[in-house]
Amino acid sequence: MASSSNSEIARVFFPSYPMFQLYKDGRAERLRKTVTVPASDDPKTGVRSKDAPVPPLSSARIFLPKTSDPTAKLPLLIYIHGGAFCIESPFSPTYHNYLTSLVAKAKVIAVSVQYRKAPEHNLPAAYDDAWDAINWIASHIERNGPEPWLNENADFDKVFLGGDSAGANIAHNMIMKSARDDQVRLKLSGLLLMNPFFMNDEPDELISFIFPSSKGPNDPRLNPACIAIKELAAGLVCKRILVCVAEKDFLRERGVSYYETVKNSGWNGVIEMVEIEGEEHVFYLFKPDCEKAGELMDRVSSFLNL
């Protein structure tokens, strides 16, 4: 039997929104379980969804919109969900509903990527899984991959990476990694960063715990501002970037700093930023029917179709 001292809680991440807790004996216990919903055909929008394995360790949910021409090639969005690298899933009601609405509005095919979460799987596991997903998607370029919807419906000349919060961080890192990997086969058109998480110069206790091999604020995976300007500009191998921030978001300044850094880097592309007044972090996920969420959805849809 464990001693009472070993069973004592040493730390909770975070008391205001508990995700997991640490015991003095080093154990971690998850406090927030992710509710999931099955893939389905949505009767309201006509959007279809299905799940697919992504070797070697992950999976994804694929969303296909209803169109007048079922053979049409559609822009492809690779979406990476947020959740502080610790919680949430493409299969949760929150992200299933959001991607269903976005796909219906923008008429894009979307692949919502699952990745391993901390504290069971510390970073960089999430980066590794996202990279595996990108390469799995690229296996469909010749129209002979394992997933028929991608073979038949994806326009591989219009591929976007996107995500929110921690997922936006992962999306940024994937586009930087693609610039360094000669084997990557996807041509990336744009990068969509929704309320992105990027470190500033302050210590982050959660990141210190779930990413022990990182250099903290001096790690370019966490803080793009620490990268040499020329390296940052060279790594953004796409034509357009949209950064979305919210006025009351605790991560707002990090998103604004990213926008300003890229804009002044000499990058040969177009970066835009949209700020939603009076709203908090990822408000559009929790209040999808509010007017401002609708306006943001319109802006994102336009970005994916330019």
At which residue do the structure tokens 């296996």 appear? 139
Q: Are 190 and 236 in contact (CB under 8 A)?
A: no
Nearest of 172, 130, 155 to residue 74 by alpha carbon: 155
Q: For the residues of 62-82, what is the DSSP string, one character each? A: EEE---S-TT--EEEEEEE--
Kindly tell me the burial class for residue 192, based on how many C-beta atoms sit within 10 Å of its own C-beta (0-12, 13-18, 19 or more): buried
Q: 42, 89, 249, 265: which is the annotated catalytic residue?
A: 249
Q: Cα–Cα distance between 229 and 247 in angstroms, integer?
A: 27
Catalytic residue from among 101, 165, 178, 214:
165
Assess contact for 277 and 247: CB atoms under 8 A.
yes
Helix (H), strand (E) at residue 60: strand 58-64
Look up 96 and say whether it is catalytic. Answer: no
Q: Encoding tokens for residue 234?
A: 């060279």
Of the candidates 300, 159, 155, 175, which has an alpha carbon nearest to the alpha carbon of residue 242? 300
Q: Is 51 a catalytic residue?
A: no
Angle at 86 between CA 83 and CA 87, to 5 degrees: 55
Q: SS3 sequence, 145-184?
A: CCCHHHHHHEEEEEEEEEEECHHHHHHHHHHHHHHHCCCC
- Cα pseudo-dihedral 12, 15, 17, 21, rounded to 10: 10
181 is an active site residue: no
Residues with active-site annotation: 165, 249, 281
